[in-house]
Amino acid sequence: MKELTKNPDLIAAYSVFSSFNAQNFGPRPSFQEVAKAVFKKALIDKFPTLPVSVADLALAEPLTAVDPQNPQPRHFRFMAPEEVMIQRFIDDSSFTLIEGEHRLTASRDPVNPAAQRVGMDSLQAIINDQSATLIEAYQQAVAQFWSERSEGKNSPFQWLSRSLKAGVSSTTSNRHREPALSNEKAVSLAVISAFPEKTERLGVSSETPLHAYLVNIQSTERTGPQRFQLPGTLVVTRDMADLSFILSYAPERGVEQFRSMQWMGNSFIERVRERVAASLFTWTLYEPQGDIFESLALTLLDAQLYSIKKLGQTAQTERWTVPRLVRALDDAGARLPLFDSQDRTYLEHVLTNLPPWLQQADPDDQLSYSELLSAQIFWQQKAKGRTFLEGIDALPAYAQQMLTQLLHLDHPEERVDVTNLQVIELTVENVQMPQFNLEPTSLVEFALSYRGGWPVGLIEVGDSQGRPVPEWLTGGYVKNLIDELDISTHYIELIKGLLIDDEAGLVERQALFKSQISVQLSMLALEKKIKGEDGFTAQGWQIVARLMRPDDV
């Protein structure tokens, strides 16, 4: 079974960030499209009067060299200019075009494509010069995507900032979190969510200052010092009269609690070593003046742009193919480095298999449902799978069990499968006209709805699969069997014995009932609200949720 990280805030946080796909943002940039745009601009700047569309142009290269002994016409292959530029970037060496051999053409004639009036020296210079700018151009396109707003909508960057705030809020509202956050720590995180600006936050916590920091990292490498901020990581400190604490929050790790600054710093350095190969690291804390969640979002975007740069360097070192680099960069530009790849794959699988009504729900409702789902998983683990109805089967299952036991007791030589037995009742549809109807019913259903005194002659027993039944299994036998079992009476006695008379187990059952019902009723109410069923509104769901809080039950 897939084992997730021990982060207790993972599901709630991932549900928040997974709402990205539900937002109405503009198209994400593609590395190949960016390369096309770079080539187009450079070519038009150099040749503003080209008579054809740049999108139709290709670089034609002869497949064979000129051979005086072979007068047959040569054939050409056609290459997209942006792919030539990407290959030039990967090779990291000068690209050469030969006048009279290579052609820039809008034709696709493989024998004699018509050349545009573009000198190969100029085209060669464009490809060599602009290929070095491709990674930076793609970084700029990704940054522009995050900043652009659709009409009446938040920009992706604003969504990210709000999602980070919602991620912190979700940890404080998770009442079933393990390990639990103390009231002081939960309140402090809630204050940061409510007052993200430094001045406002310190104003409301002046007696016991509440600080929210980013983590600055500096590493010493052969190529010189590198400075960056730990992506998506928030550090919270507070000194109170009888309590001081240090917390950190990151989407992929949730809230972590540290005993000391040194312990926290050592933990951060270990994470940084996964990103940077350096022998020496130093770290400091920095408290931004503005919105802490906007600053936190910027650290994630910085990490995304850094990963794009590193992919370009790796492609050059390892001599990747053009398609491989394009796929890798598009993937890096489409997601943030928030979660472990194994967790991300698993959670994406879970989210894509959610019922349609939950997939289409608002992000806030998805977050609330994920919190309830986390709570349900927690109490199931804590109760080791037991419920307040432990030992009490549903009535149909109980009836099937009783019928099976008595049948096998009466006739141990024949292992009759109760689930395949059906009773055929002969009913009169019209008294004045002798019209009858045969109604097959499963033996279990018949036993539960049995009407005493039903004439034996109107009951037949058969097999739902059409197989013959034993001769002794007649309507009379079934009638006597059901009379002897008296299923309803025994079932009531079972419930009374376990739920009322068993005083020792009653306290545990009551606790299980409170835990189970508080989560399940809340989940049902939220489902009704999302689906718009039974008149449930947002206010109705909130009333149920408040009533089901442990302190209110």
SS3 helix, strand, coil % of the chain, rounded to 5?
50, 15, 35
pLDDT, tens digit, for every residue of 371-398?
677 667 666 666 666 677 777 778 888 8
| Structure tokens that stand for 439 in this block | 């109604």
Among the ranges given (194-208, 314-328, 404-418, 419-433), the one the predictor scored with the smallest mean pLDDT: 419-433
Backbone angles phi, psi at 538, to 5 degrees: -60, -40
Q: Is-contact 39 85, C-beta < 8 A? A: yes
Cα–Cα separations (whole angstroms), residue 245 to 56, 241, 270, 369, 476: 63, 11, 21, 30, 76
Cα 479 vs. chain centroid, distance in angstroms?
A: 55
Find the mean pLDDT for residues 233-240: 91
Residue 3 pLDDT level (bands cut at 50, 70, 90): very low
pLDDT at 330: 92
Find the mean pLDDT for residues 174-194: 79
Between CA 104 and CA 119 the distance in angstroms is 9
Q: Is-contact 171 177, C-beta < 8 A? A: yes
Between CA 34 and CA 418 the distance in angstroms is 68
Q: Is the pTM of this model over 0.75?
A: no
Strands 76-79 and 421-430 turn out to be unpaired
Between CA 542 and CA 470 the distance in angstroms is 58
Give the position of tokens 């900032």: 161
Q: What percent of the chain has pLDDT over 90?
A: 28
* Residue-averaged pLDDT of the chain: 80
Cα–Cα separations (whole angstroms), residue 357 to 351, 377, 440, 530, 533: 12, 21, 37, 7, 12
pLDDT at 12: 54
Helix axes 322-334, 31-46, angle to 10 degrees: 110
pLDDT at 541: 82
Cα 264 vs. chain centroid, distance in angstroms?
A: 28
pLDDT, tens digit, for every residue of 279-293?
677 889 999 999 999
pLDDT, tens digit, for every residue of 404-436?
888 888 887 777 787 878 777 665 555 454 444
Count CB neighbours of 70 within 10 A: 9
pLDDT at 422: 78
**Which of residues 317 and 68 earns the better pLDDT score?**
317
| DSSP at 457 | G
Indicate if the pLDDT at residue 443 is higher than 90. no
pLDDT at 542: 83
pLDDT at 364: 65
Which range, 44-58, 239-253, 484-498, has the best average confidence (pLDDT)?
A: 44-58
Find the mean pLDDT for residues 75-92: 94
Q: Is-contact 131 85, C-beta < 8 A? A: yes
The separation between the first and the last C-alpha atoms of the chain, rounded to the nearest angstrom, is 35
Q: What percent of the chain has pLDDT over 70?
A: 78
pLDDT at 553: 33
Among the ranges given (12-26, 82-96, 224-238, 449-463), the one the predictor scored with the smallest mean pLDDT: 12-26
pLDDT at 77: 92
Q: Where are the domains of the chain?
A: 31-141, 148-377, 395-494
Residue 552 pLDDT level (bands cut at 50, 70, 90): very low
| Structure tokens that stand for 339 in this block | 């979660």
Give the position of tokens 């400075």: 227
Cα 205 vs. chain centroid, distance in angstroms?
A: 35
Count CB neighbours of 296 within 10 A: 27
Among the ranges given (85-89, 267-271, 326-330, 412-416), the one the predictor scored with the smallest mean pLDDT: 412-416
Between CA 359 and CA 351 the distance in angstroms is 7
Between CA 217 and CA 215 the distance in angstroms is 6
pLDDT at 456: 52
Cα–Cα separations (whole angstroms), residue 466 to 81, 153, 407, 419, 462: 72, 63, 20, 13, 7
Give the position of tokens 């809630």: 190
Count how many residues are written for the chain. Answer: 553
Which range, 251-265, 373-387, 473-487, has the best average confidence (pLDDT)?
A: 251-265
pLDDT at 143: 94
pLDDT at 254: 82
Q: Is-contact 547 519, C-beta < 8 A? A: no
Indicate if the pLDDT at residue 306 is higher than 70. yes
Residues 6+ apart with CB under 8 A from 126: 39, 42, 43, 46
Indicate if the pLDDT at residue 16 is higher than 60. no
